[in-house]
Amino acid sequence: MARIITSLLIGLLLSACGDSSRIEPTKVDTIFYNGKIVTLDQQLSIASTVVVDDGRIIAVGDDDVADGYDAPTAVDLGGKLAMPGFIDSHTHIRGRPQRYIDLTKTRSIEELRGQVSDKARELGPGEWITGYGWSEDVMAELRRPLRRDLDDAAPENPVLLTRAGGHSAVANSLALELAEVNLDTPQPESGVIERGDDGELNGVIRERQDIVSKLIPEATYEEVRESLIGILREQLSLGITSLVHATGSLEAYAEWEHVYGLHRGSLPRAAIQVFWEGPEAMSAFGRRTGDGDDHLRLGPIKIFVDGGFTGPAAFTKEPYKGESEYRGKLSLTPEELRRIIRQAHAANWQLGIHAIGDAAIELTIDELAAALDESPRSNHRHYLNHFTVMPSGEAMDKMAEYDIAITQQPNFTYTLDGRYSEYLDGDRLQHNNPLRTPMDHGIHVAISSDILPIGPMVGIYAAVTRKGMSGNVYGADEALTVMEALRGYTLYGAYLTFEEDEKGSLEPGKLADMIVLDQDILTIDPDHIMDIRVEQTWLGGKLVYAADH
C-alpha cells in the first residue's frame, strides 16, 4: 500500500541535503515518489516521481525531478505501479429503485427464485419487481430463468428480469397478462416473443421487452439518486476516473447536472450520451457534444442500429450458425438511420452508434460516410460502439478514410464466448470483437467495458489473452500487448471525448487522475490480470478511493 506522508519539510525525504544557498523550492500540493509510474505518453516512459499542483501534473520524471519542489503531502508509492486512471468510454450507470434486484452475481435459478421471493415479501403483493444481470452461461442449471420460475417465486407480483447485456428479459405470467401479451399477440417488429417446446409462452422477450417494461412506474430521481451516487463511487474503486454513460435523455441530463453540482470533484468525470429527439427539441435544448466542463459534459448522440448476441438480434451479413435464414434484425429502418445521422451531424453533434453485426456495421459506415460527404467536418470523431462481427476489409478502409473510430469491449470475448460459439463459426467466431485488425487498418480503437462486467481488468485480460470463460482462445492474432490495452483504456478513450490533451496519460499540464495497483500489470502472468486490484484512486490530485479505508 502506498503511504501518504505529510510534512512541511518533505523535500528532505526526496533529496539529499542541499546547499543552503540554493533557490527557494516551489510550493506544490503533492509529490508522488518511489513508484513505477507508467505514464502512457508517446514514448511509453516509465517514471518514479510525479509532482502535482492545483489538480494538474506539473512535472514527471526520475527521483531528482522533485528537487526544487516542496509539498505538504508526499505519497510514497512503495515501488508499486501507478498509471493514468482508466477511461471507460462505453458503460451504463443507473440508479436503482427499491423494486430492483442485482442479478449480476446470481449463479443458479434456485438462487434467483429466492431473490425474487424475498423481494416480493419486502414489497408486498401487486408491486412490480425488476432486476438485471442474469446469464444462463453462469447458472448451475445452464439454462435461462423462465416464466414458471418467476410464477413460483412471486405469483402475486408482476416481474421482469433483464439479462446481462440488456437484449432480452423474462417476465412472469402476471406481467405478461398486464401487458396483454398472450398466444394471439403478433410478433413485434425488431423483436421476438418466445414460445417453449410445448407451444406456450416461456416468458422470454428478445429486444422488445419494452412491451412489458412500459407498464412499470417510472422511478423518481429522488428514489434512485443515492444509489446512482453509490454506483458512481464504485467506479473509483475499479480505477475508473472518467466514463461515458452510453444511454440518456435530455431530461436525465439535468439530473446528472444536479448530482455533479452536489458532488463536484468526488465522482468520476463523465460524458453523457443522449438520444436524438428531433431537430426542434435539440435546438431548444441549446447545447451539444462537449458542452460542460472537465467533470461533466455532453457526449455523443446514441443510436441503436441492431441488437446483440444475448438476444440474439445482431444484424449479420450471413445467417447465424445452424440457421438457414436468420440474420438478426435492425432496430430501425435504414431510412430512419440516415435521417438521424444526417440531422445530428449537420447540427454539429458527435455520434456514438451501437452496431454489433457486420451488416449493421457496414450500413452505419456507409451512412456516416454519406453524411460526411454531404457536410464535411474534419474533427467529428464519430464512432461505433461494439463492432463485434468484423466487417469487410473495404469497410474498415472506409472507416479509416473517414476517421470513424471504435470503442470495443474485449471483455465480451470472455463473458459471451458461449453465446458466440452458439451463433457464430469460422472467422466470425475467431475474430469476434476484433482489436488488432481494425488497428492495422488505421482505425482508432478505444477499449471499454459496457456492462459485462463493468471494470477494466476483465477487458484488459481478454484483450491480451483473447480467452473466453471456457478457456478457449479466439483469434490470437487479434491480441494486444499490455501497453496497447492500457492505452486503449486511457488515452484512446480520452480522444473520443475530445480530451486527449487533458487526460489519459501522465504528462505535465494534464489532470492528475492516477491510480495505484497492488500488482505490476506489465510483468504479471497475463492469466492473472483479473486478480489485480486498485489500491488508490486519485482524481485531480485528490485521494477519492483507498482500498484500506
Give tens-digit pLDDT for 68-112: 999 999 999 999 999 999 999 999 998 999 999 999 999 999 999
Cα 52-517-408 angle, rounded to 5 deg: 95
Pairwise CA distance, residues 255 & 257, whole Å:
5
C-alpha cell at 404: 470513424
CA distance 299 to 383: 12
**Cβ-count burial 492-512 (b if 16+ within 10 Å, e if not):** bbbbbbbbbebbbbbbeebbb
pLDDT at position 256 is 97
Predicted pLDDT of residue 8: 38
Percent of the chain with pLDDT over 90: 90
User: Are residues 160 and 175 in contact, defined by beta-carbon separation less than 8 angstroms?
Assistant: yes
Instruction: State which amino acid sits at residue 371.
Output: A
Please tell me the predicted confidence (pLDDT) of residue 198: 96
Domain segments of the chain: what residues?
1-85+504-549, 100-213, 221-503
The answer to whether residues 165 and 452 touch, using CB atoms and an 8 Å cutoff, is: yes
Q: Which pairing describes strands 56-61 and 49-53: parallel, antiparallel, or unpaired? A: antiparallel
The CA angle 201-202-204, to the nearest 5 degrees, is 105
Q: Does domain 1-85+504-549 have CATH number 3.60.60.10?
A: no
Q: pLDDT value at position 249?
A: 93
**DSSP 8-state secondary structure symbol assigned to residue 468:** -
The predicted-structure confidence for 241-262, as pLDDT tens digits, reads as follows 999 999 999 999 999 999 999 9
> At the top level of CATH, which class does the domain 221-503 belong to?
alpha beta
CATH (residue range 100-213): 3.10.310.70
Residues (pLDDT < 70) of the chain are 1-22
Residue 72 CA: distances (Å) to CA of 8, 56, 242, 307: 5, 16, 27, 53
What pLDDT is stored for residue 22 in this prediction?
60
